Structure 1
Amino acid sequence: MVMALYGLLLTAAAAAMAVPPAPSREVNPPSPAARAVWIADAALREPRTDVLVLGTPHLSMLAPDFDRARLEPLLARLQTWRPRMIMVEAVSGAQCDYLRKFAVAYPGVAEDYCPDASAARAALNLDQAGAEAEIERLLATERADRPAAERRRLAALFLAAGDPASARVQWLRLPEPERIAADGLTAGLLATIAATGKRPNENRDVAAALAARLGLERVWPVDDHTGDRAAGPSNAEMEAAIPRLWDNRWSHARKPLIEQIPARLNKGEVLAVYRDENSLDAARYAVASDFAATAADPSPQRYGRRYLAYWETRNLRMVANMREAMGPTPGTRVLAIVGSSHKPYYERYLGVLSEVRVVSTDSVLADKAR
């Protein structure tokens, strides 16, 4: 069998280039008071909430004509694991409204990360809160045979709520003849959901597709940018300093692996790519090249440490959003799909939650031919 690319890199690298090992002991061990939480951990009964963190390359790096059928082996593996909730790296509509309202504190963030929900809100004559309230009302009744008119209404409501991936779930669960403009779903909104001619996106082409196959009603957007201010005000000096810190031997070693991903996906090496992206070696390279490099910033301004504050705050709040979403259904099975650089931070923070058990991707993505 062909060795994973990260493994090949480590084998070929000189000792000076090998990714640094993790410390032999915890740098920040829990305090005695923190260890008291272990009493709750020990008291918890089965079933726990199992969370599988799937690190992903951002599929928007691929061309619009990428053959989505190449994703089938990944979808089949994830479908076999049968998650009951799927979390995605997307900002909620409510947070997008906040980011727009406080744009002075978050310049350009809504424009970069938020879909435009205005057309759906105008079509339904609803705001964010109204759309979410109706979604909650409709989904309070579980129905495998939900009428097509209700699914069309839900698709439009999810668009109005700023959640296009969940709108896509409803659209995929409609029989093709029922994917029509009706029940608040205008022709323009239908085109938005169909996303014909757009670049691939893991939220749409993996998460939503999988949710529809599993009979789920939605996915859960858990990304968070309210902590962007943790880095403090930016300036030209800081914007120049961070890329300099990223220019290191670990990032140089990692760059060719990232650059090969589109070609490998186009050749159908989807499972191999995802095995690489979720390997321990990949996590260590990501941390060493990015977050360890900024943590070690020797400058008096400590711009790297400020960047790290943003990154840790963002991931803490993403995991908190997940915990909130999982809360009403303890003991469920959760798939979290997120950019692979988030994976080590997700698993670190999920690992301190009493009710959560982090599941290794190895058993799901394993090369069965070995």
Structure 2
Amino acid sequence: MLQKATGLLMATMLCVGSANAGEPAGRFEPGKLKGPAKAKPNEVMVLGTAHLSQLPAGFQPAALRVLNERLQAWQPGIIVIEQRSGPQCAFLRQFPQRYEETVQTYCWDPAPARAATGLDVPAATAEIDRLLAAWPAMPTPSARRHLAAVFLAGGEPVSALVQWLRLGVEERRSGDGLDATLVGVLEKLREKRSEDALIAAPLAAALGLERVFGMDDHTADSPDADPKAYGAALMKAWDNPASARRKGADRELKASLGDPQNVLALYRAFNAPSQARLVFDSDFGAALEEDSPQQFGRSYVAYWETRNLRMASNIRETVGNLPGRRTLVIVGASHKPYLDAYLDQMHDVRIVPTDTVLR
């Protein structure tokens, strides 16, 4: 045993010495060490979006047609959305003293689906994995209805909607775990003015994908000790010239969104490289410099960076489990530059500019 331990120690020392000898002096930059050399890389496009539910009444969902056509032509094999996964929300529910407001605001309630299927989130998550591992090339409508019900029980409503959209209209009915309540949930979700219902789910269905992947993360959330003072400090920081420029540009871009070309112009502007610095100057950079005694702005920026890092790690895990595919990430525009920067540090991720589809 001693001989074996000594050998391991010597091997470790030799490896450390060899690494030190071969490395040039200076900073280690993982984003510059790309691979693999002989396999298809993971192409990731991060599409910054407006939250469609917050657009003016003049926005028409039909005006997304050209954007959706271009995204479909890019042929992503994975679609990732700014939603919390069912398992994350199940975790958050275990700590109501910290996450009660987060759950109420951001988590979908799977209770009706649990009542219909008898599956809680862990059981439904395991069943989703089991079903998809043996998923046939030509599933029956009954199988799709059942999978939709299980996705709902697992807290994955957008993936359930993908299955619903893949059914013929005449097959969108109750049965196989979907009761009338859950059918109503899916129909209501299908009509929702959101990027999930109007872009992600229809795109996944059109591409023949079986699901989407939620990657948002709210584990950095915590109750504010003094919400009034915290809000006042941030509002003061955000009252700056960069914010005024940003609001003015937003008003102009959102003035006429019934036309597909105007919607495309909105997405071009939100994804333009120059937008990253404008967002920083108006929001996070301004918050860093706010001068409250409690340093509220620094706490806010720490939360924002932590959330984005965890979002990036969730995307990385998803991409890593399905290597060599194109991945489309649909996320609020303020997240885009952070996710681009963080994901570009990954060895086998190549960031694809949105100009590829928006130009």
Asked whether the two chains share a fold, i.e. TM above 0.5, the reply is yes
User: What does the per-residue CA deviation read over 1:142-164, in whole Å, with 9 as the maximum and x for residues that have no partner?
Assistant: 43311100100111111111111
Which residue is equivalent to 1:100? 93
Q: CA deviation at 1:198?
A: 5.1
User: What does the per-residue CA deviation read over 1:263-316, in whole Å, with 9 as the maximum and x for residues that have no partner?
Assistant: 332233221111111112222211110011112223442211110000000000
Which residue is equivalent to 1:156? 149
Q: Is residue 2:109 matched to residue 1:110?
A: no
Amino acid at match of 2:277: R
**1:264 partner SS:** coil
Amino acid at match of 2:34: D
Decide which of 195, 200, 218 is 2:193's aligned counterpart. Answer: 200
Decide which of 105, 119, 127 is 2:120's aligned counterpart. Answer: 127
**2:237 partner SS:** helix
Instruction: Say if 1:66 and 1:200, in contact at 8 Å, map to a contact too.
Output: no
Which residue is equivalent to 1:295? 288
Would the alpha carbon gap of residues 88 and 43 (structure 1) be closer, same or farther in structure 2, given more than 3 Å must change? Answer: closer
**2:81 partner SS:** strand
Which residue is equivalent to 1:254? 246
Q: TM-score, normalization: structure 1?
A: 0.85
Q: Is residue 2:173 matched to residue 1:177?
A: no
Deviating more after overlay: 215-224 vs 155-164:
155-164
The structure whose residues are more often helix, as a share, is: 2
Instruction: Could you tell me which runs of 5 or more consecutive residues in structure 1 were left unpaired when the two chains were aligned.
Output: 1-30
Amino acid at match of 1:245: A
Q: CA deviation at 1:65?
A: 9.3
State how many pairs are aligned: 335
Give the fraction of aligned pairs with identical amino acids, expressed as a percent.
Answer: 45
Which residue is equivalent to 1:344? 337
Which residue is equivalent to 1:241? 233
Instruction: Say if 1:52 and 1:361, in contact at 8 Å, map to a contact too.
Output: yes
Which residue is equivalent to 1:227? 220
Which residue is equivalent to 1:363? 356
User: What does the per-residue CA deviation read over 1:13-72, in whole Å, with 9 as the maximum and x for residues that have no partner?
Assistant: xxxxxxxxxxxxxxxxxx967516468535654311000000000000147896422211
Decide which of 318, 323, 332 is 1:330's aligned counterpart. Answer: 323
Amino acid at match of 1:253: R
Which residue is equivalent to 2:8? none
Q: CA deviation at 1:79?
A: 0.4
d(CA) in 2 for partners of 1:308, 1:123: 42
d(CA) in 2 for partners of 1:50, 1:199: 29
Decide which of 271, 281, 286 is 2:274's aligned counterpart. Answer: 281
Q: Which has the larger radius of gyration?
A: 2
d(CA) in 1 for partners of 2:238, 2:182: 41
Instruction: Say if 1:271 and 1:365, in contact at 8 Å, map to a contact too.
Output: yes
Would the alpha carbon gap of residues 36 and 309 (structure 1) be closer, same or farther in structure 2, given more than 3 Å must change? Answer: closer
Q: TM-score, normalization: structure 2?
A: 0.87
Which residue is equivalent to 2:76? 83
Instruction: Say if 1:61 and 1:262, in contact at 8 Å, map to a contact too.
Output: no
